[in-house]
Amino acid sequence: MAYKKELWGNMPDGREVYLYTLVNENKVSASFTNLGAVWVTMNVPDRNGKETDVVLGYDSVSDYLQNPPHFGAPIGRNANRIAGAKFIINGKEYKLEANNSTNNLHSGPDLYHSRLWDSEAEENEMGTSVSFSLFSPDGDQGYPGNANITITYTLTPDDGLKIDYHMICDEDTVANFTNHSYFNLDGHDGGSALEQRVWIDADTYTRADEISIPTGEFTPVKGTPMDFTVMKTIGQDINEDYEALVFGSGYDHNWVLNHPSEELALCAVAESDKTGVRMEVYTDLPGMQFYTANFLNGQMPGKGGTVYSKRCCYCFETQYYPNAVNTPEFPSPILKAGQEYQTTTIYKFSTI
């Protein structure tokens, strides 16, 4: 196990941006930057041993300072949408910016992934890790309380990329983090992902309205295009005339995961016949947004000048359900003052 730290560029004010590359004994490697604590590369061997970078992204600091699709980005304090861009905690209303119709999406516009984080790498028996830390003051993005946030990425000996999220705050607030990496198991430049297969351990999904706010209903997936309980290609049903697919322009919904609350468990699998790469997703969170990059449009060239087009990739965003802070029947993303928010998601790679 080993890691490398290199100067990658500079912020507009001159502060240094670093790239950390973690490598395990199987020559699997992953890289991350202190600009936004962003996941930049994930190099895994295909069935023939060829190194394949399976996450989309950019080659430069300047591009990551823009990063409109949130490639590789940790999202907080709240991932996904909050209806009306407002919520109430302890009888007090907090207003966020409406940056997605009337909703707030991913706590924008002052995004964590456009900020420089403190960073530190280490090696231990669990693997090689890099930790990124950020102080988020009271009122930051509109949220209450002074929050100390740490995100740790660990490349494990068994080819897993483990993400540990930790936050503590001095007021009751919202804590709902995810990672917004886009995957293509044929390689970041592999073109359409519609022939790749997906399985999701969820019998229901949270039905949503035309602006992607859950109605509060848990809709069974059985007999619908939302059913991934038996592995199928992403493209098999994606163009069906079905409410969720019409509203989302493809898959862009939260699946209600079957595992017990707070139990770290396998929740999704993706596979490519072309490369033989398999990815397993484990989480202890109750939900996962499966998003098929329905709005990518090639507006900014990616790594090596690659044009990333609609449905060339997909996201598995583990999370509390969208708008959970305003939906009492959903598992709550409210973190009490002085308590610890701690959650883990693992993306594990192998070949078939």
The set of catalytic residues is 180, 317
Beta-carbon contacts of 328 under 8 Å, excluding residues fewer than 6 positions away, are none
Q: How far is it, in rounded angstroms, from Cα 185 to Cα 42?
A: 10
User: Does residue 30 contact residue 51 with C-beta atoms inside 8 Å?
Assistant: no
Report helix, strand or coil for 166. Answer: strand
Burial of 48 (0-12, 13-18, 19+ CB in 10 A): exposed
- In 3D space, the residue among 83, 117, 77 whose CA is nearest the CA of residue 333 turns out to be 77
Query: What are 91's two structure tokens?
Result: 């009888």
Query: What are 179's two structure tokens?
Result: 């990672």
CA–centroid distance for 326 within its chain: 22
- In 3D space, the residue among 296, 300, 299 whose CA is nearest the CA of residue 312 turns out to be 296
